[in-house]
Structure 1
């Protein structure tokens, strides 16, 4: 990427103005149209992600067939980001995650009542437009014969898409083959203006990922039409600005990059800073200007830049200001979607994908083969790996909770929903991110934040007395840690409850300190110390090996309480077997480390999630007694004080999330030397 000359900058500015005019003034049948989604193809001709752009064969029952027409695209068939070749006699469907049009989402949430499909082709063949209903049943809408080089338009109603449904098109080439030159989806623009966007990234010691993201954004010239600036909040000591390619990437951004350094306050502190900067605006020759939206992006992602344009266009057209979330695909298994729509169960107060909408692998079956994805699914929240938040929402409800990590994103959407602002997880806007399946965050230092922040969110938003089932699940989780010989996360959970009982006043103060304090406890617990080389651990020995190679089955729900009582008593009173004090009784793979299995052992070597090491779990009856006694005491106290604590946290919420409170915290926590 070469340094930008004034001539390059001027040329790019002219291209931006041309593009802006193009997306906002496209008259068809007397209507001004706005381009809201372009048909695109993977950057660098990445075949791993191709199933998200070109749909495989229809196969509702199972994985796609390897030899079919649409499953056998060659890299050379991708001509550019917008153009593809259809080989002689072949049929290609663009009824895919990134290139079909999510009509039901536009019907439900925006002012649009119709959409125009515009397709430019070269060569002879057939162009067929389809739509689906909420049950995933496909219906042919229109088909045309095409030849030569021509542009074809289809004006399509959004009226029948109340509960679900998509639009898409297929191309079938004649014997000479044909080319899709470009295609896009446009909606009547009405009097809606084109909103301006600030992209906000928070990072801690991932400078290589951040520089790659800067380069990706700089190379996407179409973003110039909506992008005010990219703000990187650097909270680490491996600085983005010190990365080898940073200067080149910065130059390519043409003055639209700003790096802010501050102390490590986690995701909530970093993203709150992005929000804060958007509220303050930026100095320009014309005065202080403010973006309409901030789009929050995680640092360890690969960005599909088309999603930024789609999220901004969708937000511009919404009936009411709305939080627009992007989906998260697995960076190491690119067609795998982690969650299609996520909700918070109000009784359990637990987050997660709607049943059946997690772990969607588009390499096995494409969009047209997944009827459940044709229904519109309404989310409670969207993760902050990619999430658009309107400035007017931040002005109304404030910034993130000061909670470091975990539950900051879901709590924010719950708070917004109570104020009348929905969250919409928008199909076709997405990033690739390292999967949480490769992380140990339930048993490392993050266990503290899982517990504390879930409790705080429940105190703020649970509609049920005593938080519904929240406290019961809390004591169950802590007990599982104890009987699994996971004493470090068990203790972390108890510290989390103590901090919740202390009330909301100290949240800002402990923001930069609590994480290092929790991590410093690791040395006191064998289960928290990760050994990289297996040879440094003693070999497995057991006087009486188990009679079966299968791990014990988990107790059923009716069996759970008696099992738990029996297991806790056994672990509290029964001495540790002598041999287990010197040698582990089993090697346990991470995927097999279920609490019901670990509870039967006196010691074990347990692998961590990413496979880089293992820890030696060792049963300690004295710790079991101490931790369980403290757990019962603290949970009883939390139960007794729930209503008064809920009032305290709800009363404090406007202050602790205010820009003024965050400004004081930013001022007090500058970058570490």
Structure 2
């Protein structure tokens, strides 16, 4: 490490040049140190890392002087070792051609700049400390990346002296290595969320540096509440001009919307990358620039995705990366010490909650199989080689695509410091209801295509257990969808295109036939609850309690085959909150009022032994066939994959004429 005497221009010196295009002395800006544009205290811990004894009260919104400038009060120490401002050195070391990074810190006032690094175990190491004073002082640090093979970050702290110290700007620069500056087509697929879409378009329109890496912003509108008719759209359209294109099409699900974005990005011939963005997100626009810059510097074409934070609990990270566990064929965390729902604020609810510096597992480089399509950059060259998404509507499309790319030799990177805020899965239960069909079928399809085990490992056994779990939970509508999924899977890959636009309406239409899928808003909409006589509590040791729980669970399963007692189906026996809707609890009752995950409705679950027996028998037959016919199904789906994901197949599904690659469409809809 060295402190360079070479003067690096301030980004502000390039007043007419977007940051994404700035180059100087053979370097380009990889990432800027940034702060939230609205000085939002709820997200500030993602930009400034707080110690355990600190809270958001140590941060004053008026100290934020601009997008890349902040004041440090006298005697205060401020760490930029945060999610958005630490430099993810190990990711650059592993995936890019870069071997050194240059940190440029521009300050005014007296104080100290302290540079740190970490290793994969999260151990903090001081690298260099420099005292600064005067107006418009600049410090340049040239930092090697050799030691970051398994993990680690660079960051810096600011320590103000007796007077205020101002960070005017700071950037992490990397050698250009003759790598070109790429550009991207953005593709958002939306279904009746025009408010989110217009808000994000405003953010994009207001970021000059972001627009410099954008060729076009495509809105694939599959809903009935049209984005182009929403208040504020005309104004943002006027700002973005020809960069904004809205394409209306039928509801073909996420796979259809994102495939249209990939298709347009590849055939129009303008962009190096397509960036997929979900509609119900809040966007940190700097993340997009970071994805493109990182992709430009990668050793070979690489899919680069961002992380997802909870839109309503904004310092909570969904996951640091995802893989598909190969034997059980389930989404999984890459490392056992990682956790879902990590809160970057200390005391967020779990013992290991806290910022980047204090959370050891965040420092280990996390290698992934795929990235969620809330934000994912895909090189156009990869799209042209491996095709578009499978026509599966929703669920497992992003995971399958990442696995397909990996098998073709193209890795996926989930890049720290690049993220969106998205509606959390916490308030959803997409394993129950109409989405269960797509979960079961598409999980099977992805396993047939990519599982390393001769008959898919444990997937068949696990799927049958899930059928049984839903049945003893009186979720007959869910099992109806899962059984249809198994039938359609066995029918072969040729059915997928025809089902893309028709399956969802058919499944939803069947909901009216099941009481467990018929929601009402108030408890008063149901007959009065007739609760049974309470049981006498029994004293139990820990060991006997475990045994009794197992015995009671088995007893609860067996009772599903017996006729409900008189009157139990005329009036519900109890209320069950969503969090308590576990099979071993629900299975104890003949009927119950159960709230949904969103808290917006109540369903009346009723035990139906005849339906239970019929569905369980079909499940056993379907799963036995899938296991027995696995080799045939695997070969059929693998053989069909190139055609199913081809541009020609999707042109037919989009209802458009064939377009040669690189040839833009004759006209736009908006």
The TM-score normalised by the length of structure 1 is 0.91
Q: CA deviation at 1:16?
A: 8.8
Q: CA deviation at 1:138?
A: 0.5
Q: CA deviation at 1:577?
A: 2.0
Contact preservation (8 Å) 1:543, 1:579? no
Q: Which residue of 2 aligns with 1:606?
A: 594
Contact preservation (8 Å) 2:112, 2:129? yes
Contact preservation (8 Å) 2:301, 2:410? yes
Q: How does 1:425-440 map to 2 (within 5 A)?
A: 425-440=414-429
Q: Which residue of 2 aligns with 1:219?
A: 206
Q: Which residue of 2 aligns with 1:284?
A: none
Change (3 A) 1:516 1:86: same
Q: Which residue of 2 aligns with 1:6?
A: none
Q: CA deviation at 1:267?
A: 0.2
Matched, 1:632 2:630: no
Q: Find the partner of 2:243 among 256, 260, 270.
A: 256
Change (3 A) 1:627 1:561: farther
Q: CA deviation at 1:440?
A: 2.5
Q: Find the partner of 2:28 among 31, 34, 54.
A: 34
Give a deviation string over 1:259-290, Cα, whole Å, max 9, x none: 00000000000000000001111xxxxxxx42
Give me the whole-angstrom Cα distance separating, in 1, the residues matched to 2:14 and 2:616. Answer: 66
Matched, 1:188 2:175: yes
Q: Which residue of 2 aligns with 1:5?
A: none
Matched, 1:297 2:297: no
Q: CA deviation at 1:558?
A: 9.7
Contact preservation (8 Å) 1:24, 1:189? no
Give a deviation string over 1:514-556, Cα, whole Å, max 9, x none: 0111111100100101111222122322232244599xx9999
Q: Find the partner of 1:166 among 137, 141, 153.
A: 153
Q: Which residue of 2 aligns with 1:44?
A: 38
Q: Find the partner of 2:447 among 430, 444, 458.
A: 458
Give me the whole-angstrom Cα distance separating, in 2, the residues matched to 1:390 and 1:115. Answer: 24
Give me the whole-angstrom Cα distance separating, in 1, the residues matched to 2:538 and 2:478. Answer: 28
Q: Which residue of 2 aligns with 1:593?
A: 581
Q: Which residue of 2 aligns with 1:359?
A: 341
Q: Which residue of 1 aligns with 2:216?
A: 229
Q: Find the partner of 1:312 among 292, 302, 305.
A: 292
Which deviates the most, 591-600 or 467-476? 591-600
Contact preservation (8 Å) 1:341, 1:357? no
Q: CA deviation at 1:15?
A: 7.8
Give me the whole-angstrom Cα distance separating, in 1, the residues matched to 2:375 and 2:181. Answer: 20
Give a deviation string over 1:199-224, Cα, whole Å, max 9, x none: 11000011111111111110111112
Give me the whole-angstrom Cα distance separating, in 2, the residues matched to 1:555 and 1:635. Answer: 35
Change (3 A) 1:548 1:254: farther
Q: Find the partner of 2:102 among 116, 124, 129.
A: 116
Give me the whole-angstrom Cα distance separating, in 2, the residues matched to 1:413 and 1:464. Answer: 19
Q: How does 1:227-626 map to 2 (within 5 A)?
A: 227-281=214-268, 289-354=269-334, 355=336, 356-364=338-346, 365-547=354-536, 566-572=555-561, 574-626=562-614
Change (3 A) 1:549 1:177: farther
Contact preservation (8 Å) 2:557, 2:587? no
Gaps of 5+ in 2: 1-12, 347-353, 658-667
Q: CA deviation at 1:566?
A: 4.8
Q: CA deviation at 1:560?
A: 10
Give a deviation string over 1:79-137, Cα, whole Å, max 9, x none: 11111110011000000000000000000000000000011111100000000011101
Q: How does 1:34-73 map to 2 (within 5 A)?
A: 34-57=28-51, 64-66=52-54, 72-73=58-59
Q: Find the partner of 2:631 among 643, 646, 670.
A: 643
Q: Find the partner of 2:93 among 100, 107, 113.
A: 107
Contact preservation (8 Å) 1:23, 1:33? no
Q: Which residue of 2 aligns with 1:18?
A: 17
Q: CA deviation at 1:561?
A: 9.3
Give me the whole-angstrom Cα distance separating, in 2, the residues matched to 1:399 and 1:543. Answer: 56
Matched, 1:662 2:650: yes
Give me the whole-angstrom Cα distance separating, in 2, the residues matched to 1:358 and 1:16. Answer: 42
Q: CA deviation at 1:66?
A: 4.3
Contact preservation (8 Å) 1:342, 1:351? yes
Q: CA deviation at 1:353?
A: 2.8
Which deviates the most, 441-450 or 346-355? 346-355
Q: CA deviation at 1:668?
A: 7.0
Q: Which residue of 2 aligns with 1:10?
A: none
Give me the whole-angstrom Cα distance separating, in 1, the residues matched to 2:394 and 2:196. Answer: 20
Contact preservation (8 Å) 1:503, 1:645? yes
Change (3 A) 1:219 1:72: same
Contact preservation (8 Å) 2:556, 2:584? no
Task: Tell me the C-alpha RMSD between the 2 structures.
Answer: 2.2
Contact preservation (8 Å) 1:218, 1:252? yes
Contact preservation (8 Å) 2:21, 2:181? no
Give a deviation string over 1:350-396, Cα, whole Å, max 9, x none: 11333423111001211000011011010111100000000011011
